[in-house]
Amino acid sequence: MNWMEALTNGLHYMEKHLMEHVTIHEVASVVGISPMYFQQSFKIVTGYTVGEYMRNRKLYLAALDVLQAKEKMIDIAYTYGYETPESFSKAFTRIHGISPTKLQLDPSKITIFQPLRLVIDVKGGQAMQNYAKDKDVMKMIGKKYEVKYESAYQEIPSYWESYRKECMNPNSKEIEVYKKHHIGEFGVSFDKGQDTGSFDYYVAGMYKGGDVPEGFTLFEVPASTWMIFPVVGPMPHALQTTNTRIFKEWIPSHPEYEISLPISIEWYKNGEIEDYDYESAIWIPIKEK
């Protein structure tokens, strides 16, 4: 199954089980992609997280039920997974900009949210720079964080901000650890392999030996072939742009490869991240099908 087939089949599965409590882990397992990569690619391609998409779809169907007025509002709320009419009304208003009772008075205010159909338009232009590199097992050390799939785009930048503040604090007891292992050179995402709704994220560096101080975690990245995508430009825009192109252009146009590990790595060169020539890279583990 190629990447676009997997995403499309995931969408179909979500639609079929829309009224059930479906998790990202369940959808990803059905289509054979790690939950972390499924969520990342789904967000890039559609603009929605899996949770956002399913909530929007259900609240559109709920709006149709509200307009038909065949059931009490509390029954509609329960049908669509809300424990109280108040929580239902709050979520409903976020999507439609109007409460359920007011929508009945003005049906034109409904926000239509039909099932998505995925189309990838691989355009010509500047080719992406990338190269494959085999790596043995990499032993790394870093600060470990648990990141929710649904809020990863908000959580991860906040962890990096905390790391940078700590590095700039001359009184920090951890500065020597950061320096010794070059912590901050890598950002590593590990899928847990469990239906927890989250993955592990490390602000990390290569382990140089010695004791592992309290608050730090020692971990290994398995041996793999990595497709490395160099990035030049200020953070985070340049990295985000390249990441989007990987999932919208490179992966769909290279069906001969598949992602081999539920891990992704970002590499950062030491320097000013706002500079126009700042260097970073995205590493994707691959294997031939």
Question: Which stretches within 216-275 are classed as H helix?
Answer: 237-245
Q: What is the mean pLDDT of residues 198-218?
A: 95
How far apart, in whole angstroms, are the C-alpha atoms of residue 152 and residue 201? 10
DSSP code at position 198: E
- On the question of pLDDT at 217 being above 80, the answer is yes
DSSP code at position 169: -
How far apart, in whole angstroms, are the C-alpha atoms of residue 109 and residue 36? 35
Instruction: Give 5-47 pLDDT, tens digit per residue.
Output: 899 999 999 999 999 989 999 999 999 999 999 999 999 989 9
- Find the range with the poorest average confidence among 40-44, 92-96, 117-121, 148-152: 117-121
Which fold does the domain 131-288 belong to in CATH? Multidrug-efflux Transporter 1 Regulator Bmrr; Chain A (3.20.80)
Q: What is the mean pLDDT of residues 137-147?
A: 96
Question: Which stretches within the chain are classed as H helix?
Answer: 3-16, 24-31, 35-46, 50-68, 73-79, 85-96, 100-105, 152-167, 175-181, 237-245
Name the band, by pLDDT with cuts 50, 70 and 90, for residue 69.
confident
Q: Are strands 224-232 and 217-221 parallel, antiparallel or unpaired?
A: unpaired
Domain boundaries, the chain: 3-109, 131-288
Which fold does the domain 3-109 belong to in CATH? Arc Repressor Mutant, subunit A (1.10.10)
* Predicted pLDDT at 194: 80
What 3-state class would DSSP assign to 192? Answer: coil
| 184 phi-psi bin (left φ>0, alpha ψ -120 to 50, beta other) | left
Q: Contact 17/27 with Cβ under 8 angstroms?
A: no
Name the band, by pLDDT with cuts 50, 70 and 90, for residue 212.
very high
Amino acid at 207: Y
Q: How far is CA 181 from CA 80, 129, 160, 178, 271, in A?
A: 50, 28, 17, 6, 16
Name the band, by pLDDT with cuts 50, 70 and 90, for residue 258.
very high
Q: What is the mean pLDDT of residues 39-56?
A: 92
How far apart, in whole angstroms, are the C-alpha atoms of residue 133 and residue 226? 5
**What is the token pair recorded at 165?**
């503040």
Q: What is the mean pLDDT of residues 89-109?
A: 94
Tell me phi and psi for residue 252, to 5 degrees. Answer: -60, -30
Q: What is the mean pLDDT of residues 175-179?
A: 91
**What is the token pair recorded at 230?**
């160099």
Q: What is the mean pLDDT of residues 249-268?
A: 93
How far apart, in whole angstroms, are the C-alpha atoms of residue 188 and residue 282? 10
* Predicted pLDDT at 127: 72
pTM of the model: 0.88
Question: Which stretches within 47-151 are classed as H helix?
Answer: 50-68, 73-79, 85-96, 100-105
Amino acid at 176: E
- On the question of pLDDT at 273 being above 90, the answer is no
Name the band, by pLDDT with cuts 50, 70 and 90, for residue 4.
confident
